[in-house]
Chains A and B, each alone.
Chain A
């Protein structure tokens, strides 16, 4: 049987004339997607080609050998041991650990701060309620960088120094940092002591760390307070009334009835705030805290390996944020209402 030429279908052989391909719903979406996909690929190809061409012209093809070279600079407060002879990758690792340290403590602090303020905005105490509002409105509307500089230069750097430092049993707060008693050399209990004009103690937190942490906690706390407030407000008023008709106190109502139900609204919002806190931690360089960004900047300057260092930075912050996101999504899964 001779094949029928598809170009000329007879009206009798088809119920309706086949629409042209550009009006065919089986074809058009594919074409559109292919075009969009191609445009994206072309853009990436153009950017990559451009980068490689320019780097080649400048004699700077991507290379990672610098990671093994000695860094040559010191890091003042590193959790993992570091000195100037160690290679750049160790310096970057020390910076990353410092970033993670600030982010972890910041997350816990900001969550506590946010929950307390968020709950306070439902308090029966009018003063407390208004204070919570003022805090949120003031802090949310001032740039974080400005707040960090304020905490560091105006608050922490005006602390007294040396013998004049604020001394409590086992704790000393001076301009150079917070010194806390702990187990020192030979597992002996040691309090903060003043040696040659410099405070020393087993546990030391620098004011740079303190200023960064305070800034992050106060700033993110305000946003989290709004998330918590929204979550509590999302629980129907009837739940409050039912609980109070059973004789539960304000706090017991909040803790036993309202908060558990509001978590499913709060957790996704928290995720966003946690991620921005992690990203905001890179402002640490403004207050002299040696975080990943600060180390990367010095590294970039010493090695001239701008693209590679930026890639490392991108990868590190992306991984950190995706990790936080994954954990929060897991938590979100736990607090959702189970459909039975």
Chain B
């Protein structure tokens, strides 16, 4: 008797529990990331954290770099203040889990856009516009005399685990039938420490990353990039598929930075341009872009002048590039593919219309 009753009671409670477990379904896909961020008063941005030029901590303890400036632009556009960002250092293995779990709002961490990362059946990310078109390279000591991939035959190569780099290396070496030994490490620090410790004769990563890391080597000139480019690496900020509205907002803030460069709007002249737009009712393009007329901001859930705020905070795309990785930086990278489309590059913003 007692047993029967206990079992019945238990079973019904368990069923109730299961139902309760499933009952919290809110039905819609519309998520609340934007209101979470405004409510919290700061943007949480996942970055690499130790990569000169892209995201690293400067001598005054503040984050600097191209990826960091993208975070700041988004914070400025959403919250009106580029300093309202909390940066989280993520290694290549943690990054997607941190984004998927909502620990970071935005991943701006030299992440390559790929099909499997974008696809709903894969990592389910939602990529913003590419902020840096890169390719995979190989860094070797000058003294090794290695000139191409064949020179690496049978030699150990350091690589960060869980990256597209690791797979590209395997593919290229297999294509050319070159035997090699991959040595995998969890963080870029460990990877480069092993390379500098002479454990590997080469280290492979995105060319921009190699150039950036090299600036922090004891003897930067003793290392050289092989001419080979092993892959396409479009480094792209990302959000998740779970929040299309937030993904759209981030996408158009980044496009705004690119369009600003194309329209000749800089950090220095943005206020003048805004005044000009307000004064001249016939400059419709400029007025829409800077939020003087139209409701682009509202459509995205952002303030009408989000572009003005972003550009005022970090400058346009060209300024961000030059300051962090271009001529004005230690990396001194060429604009290359990252020129505006008018100059033969791949930076192209769709119309603000």
Contacts and interface: CB of A to CB of B under 8 A. Distances in A.
Interface of A: 27, 30, 34, 37-38, 41-42, 45-46, 48-50, 52-53, 57-60, 72-77, 84, 153, 157-158, 161, 175-176, 195-196, 198, 207-208, 285-286, 288, 290, 294, 297-298, 300-304, 306
B328 interface: no
Contacts of B117: 304
A195 B154 CA distance: 10
A304 B96 contact: yes
A311 to B, nearest CB: 15
B199 A176 contact: yes
Contact of B96 (A73, A77, A198, A301): A301
Query: Interface residues of B toward A: which range?
Result: 35 or more
Given A73-B167, A84-B174, A304-B123, A49 B184 contact: no
Nearest to A83: B174
A38 B186 contact: no
B183 A45 contact: no
23 contacts: A34-B10, A38-B17, A41-B13, A41-B14, A42-B17, A59-B124, A73-B166, A74-B180, A76-B184, A77-B181, A157-B199, A175-B198, A176-B199, A195-B154, A196-B154, A288-B199, A298-B162, A301-B92, A301-B96, A302-B162, A303-B116, A304-B123, A306-B100
Interface in B107-162: 116-117, 120-124, 154-156, 158, 161-162
Interface stretch (B20-28, B44-52, B79-87, B336-344): B20-28
A74 B25 contact: no
B193 A304 contact: no
Contact of B17 (A45, A298, A303, A306): A45
Nearest to B158: A288
A49 to B, nearest CB: 2
Contact of A286 (B123, B162, B190): B190
A304 B22 contact: no
Ranked 10 nearest A-B pairs via Cβ: A49-B21, A301-B162, A157-B197, A304-B123, A42-B17, A45-B17, A59-B120, A84-B170, A76-B181, A304-B122
Contacts of A50: 21, 24
Interface string B1-40: 0100010011001100110111011000100000000000
Given A30-B6, A73-B166, A157-B194, A53 B24 contact: yes
A74 B10 contact: no
A158 to B, nearest CB: 8
Contacts of B155: 198
Given A34-B6, A49-B21, A302-B116, A297 B197 contact: no
B10 A288 contact: no
Contacts of A157: 194, 197-199
B13 A38 contact: yes
A80 B13 CA distance: 50
Contacts of A46: 17, 20-21
A75 B199 CA distance: 17
A74 B156 contact: no
B183 A294 contact: no
B27 to A, nearest CB: 10
B242 interface: yes
B63 interface: no
A59 B180 CA distance: 38
Interface string B234-248: 000000111000000
Nearest to A60: B124
Contact of A176 (B17, B22, B156): B156
Interface of B: 2, 6, 9-10, 13-14, 17-18, 20-22, 24-25, 29, 92-93, 96-97, 100, 116-117, 120-124, 154-156, 158, 161-163, 166-167, 169-171, 173-174, 180-186, 190, 193-194, 197-199, 240-242
A297 B17 contact: no
B182 A74 contact: yes
A307 to B, nearest CB: 10
B15 to A, nearest CB: 9
A231 B294 CA distance: 82
Given A73-B166, A157-B198, A286-B190, A48 B92 contact: no
Contacts of B14: 38, 41-42, 45
B91 to A, nearest CB: 10
A297 B167 CA distance: 14
Nearest to A38: B13
Given A42-B14, A59-B120, A161-B198, A298 B242 contact: no
Contacts of A285: 161, 184-186
B178 to A, nearest CB: 11
A236 B181 CA distance: 55
B167 A72 contact: yes
Contacts of B24: 50, 53
Contacts of B171: 72, 84
Given A41-B13, A303-B116, 19 more contacts: A37-B10, A38-B10, A42-B20, A57-B242, A60-B121, A73-B166, A73-B167, A75-B182, A77-B181, A153-B194, A161-B198, A175-B197, A288-B185, A294-B186, A297-B186, A298-B166, A301-B93, A304-B124, A306-B97
B167 A302 contact: yes
B241 A288 contact: no
Nearest to B21: A49
